[in-house]
Amino acid sequence: MQRISVWRSARIIWLLATLLFLLAPVVITVFGSFSARWGRTPWEAFTLEWYGYVFRTYGQAIRVSLLVGACTVVITTLIGIPAGYALARYRFWGRALLEDALLLPLTLPGLALGLAIVQTYVILRGQLLLLIIGHVVFTLPYMVQMVTASLRTGNVLRLEAAAASLGANWFQRFFLVTLPSIRNTVVAAGLAVATLSLGEFNLSYFLYSPLAMPLPVGMYEAYASLRIEIGSAFTTLFVALLLPLLLVGQLLGRTRATSST
């Protein structure tokens, strides 16, 4: 007993140390963004100067990303729900192949895809549309997978069968039973898509136009060429932007917004 609890304590310390590794830099970033001098705490030397700079210089980038994110969520949802429904309810030739293809954007490096897209659509380069569709192809798999998984649960199937037995036709079943019962999943998936889109860098870096630079590209620029305090302010702002999405996602259950490296 004694020995086991020693090991258990060691493992829990290891877990806490890992959390420290993951979260300490976030805390330092937030502190640094409010401090007039790097290495000082905000209550020693409070300033909003860095935020002012970020808003002045990158306000446009934030607006672009919010617009792109919103468009991406809408398009992804409109395409993803019917596709997820078809994958979950119908059997057809090539279904397994399609599901495999949907795994592709999961592991295919954004760099490779970005390079591929930009060389294919040379004329469209710099159009906001290209950026949005790029984000759509990158986020669609998450939406489709979550919708499909949720529709495949026995519960939704039973509800649909019950509705059919009560005389509901296909449209009534879909809009009165199926859609409401996967509503939480769709919202969660939409939030995940928004999170992914707001932070997407690899693809965006190849597809953006210098006139409509998205947030992550601006953030990269701040990291690369400006003071660490400004980078911190921008990062804090970005995290603050994501936080409500993440919190709602947590409340709705399990969201796995998986960004790319």
Partner 1 sequence: MTLQLDRLTKTYRDGTQALRGISLLIQPGEIIVLLGPSGCGKSTLLRLIAGLDVPTSGQVYLGTRDITYTPAERRDMGMVFQNYALFPHMSVAENIGFGLRVRGITRAERQQRVEAMLEKLQLIPLADRRPDQLSGGQQQRVALGRALAINPSVLLLDEPLTALDAQLRESLRSELRRTLEQFRTTSIYVTHDQTEAMSLGDRVVVLRNGLIEQVGTPRALYQRPASAFVARFIGSANRIGGVLRLTATGPSAETALGPVTLAAAPAGAADGALIDVFVRPEDVTVVPAAGAALLAAIVQVEFLGDRLRLQVRTTTGATITASVAAHTMISTNLVGLCIRQAIALPTAGE
Partner 2 sequence: MNRLRLLGQKHVRVQFSTAAALLAPLLLVLLAMLFIPLVVLAAMGLRGADGALTLDNYLAVLVNPRYRNGLLTSIGLASAVTTATLVASTTLAYTVVRDQPPATALIRALLTFPLSFPGIVVGFMTIILFGRTGALPALTQQLVGVPLLQIAYTLPGLFVAYLYFEIPRITLALAEAIEQVDARYEAAARTLGARPVQVFVLVLLPLLRSALISSSALAFATSMGAFGTAYTLAQRITILPIQIYDAYTVSFEFELASAMAVVLGLITMVALGVYRAAVGSAYQQQEQ
**Min. distance of Cβ 107 from partner 2 in angstroms?**
4
Task: Examine residue 103 and tell whether it contacts partner 2 (CB under 8 A).
Answer: yes
- Per CB under 8 A, which region of 2-10, 60-68, 156-164, 220-228 contacts partner 1? 2-10
For residue 1, state whether it binds partner 1 (rule: CB under 8 A): yes
Q: Quick one: 9 or 18, whose CB is closer to partner 1?
A: 9
Q: How far is the CB of 3 from partner 1 (least distance, A)?
A: 8
Instruction: State in angstroms the smallest separation of the CB of 1 from partner 1.
Output: 4
Pairwise CA distance, residues 148 & 185, whole Å: 10
Considering beta carbons, is residue 8 or 183 the nearer one to partner 1? 8
Q: Is 2 helix (H, G, I), strand (E, B) or coil?
A: helix
- Check binding of 128 to partner 2 (CB under 8 A): no
User: Distance (Å, rounded) from C-alpha 249 to C-alpha 246?
Assistant: 5
CB of 6 to partner 1, least distance (A): 12
Nearer to partner 1, 3 or 56 (CB): 3
Should residue 139 be labelled a site residue for partner 2 when binding is judged by CB under 8 A?
A: no
Contact status: 244 vs partner 2 (CB under 8 A)? no
**Rounded to an integer, what distance in angstroms lies between the CA atom of residue 157 and that of residue 18?**
41
Contact 179, 233 (CB under 8 A): no
Under the criterion CB under 8 A, does residue 37 sit at the interface with partner 2? no
Q: To which H or E segment does residue 31 belong?
A: helix 2-34
Which residues have C-beta within 8 Å of that of residue 42, sequence separation ≥ 6? 31, 34, 35
| 197 to 236: interface string for partner 2, x by CB under 8 A | --xxxx--x----------x--xx--xx---x--xx--x-
What residues from 4 to 63 belong to the interface with partner 1 (CB under 8 A)? 4
Q: What are 21's two structure tokens?
A: 């590794």
Which letter, b or e, does each residue of 64-74 get, where b requires 16 or more Cβ atoms within 10 Å of its Cβ? bbbebbebbbe
| Contact assessment for residue 184 and residue 252, using Cβ atoms and an 8 Å cutoff | yes
- Sequence-distant (≥ 6) Cβ neighbours of residue 248 within 8 angstroms: 187, 191
Q: Does 129 bind partner 2 (CB under 8 A)?
A: no
Residue among 131 and 212 whose Cβ is closer to partner 2:
131
Confirm if 148 and 89 have CB atoms less than 8 A apart. no
Total residues at the site for partner 2 (CB under 8 A)?
93
**By the criterion CB under 8 A, which residues form the site for partner 1?**
1-4
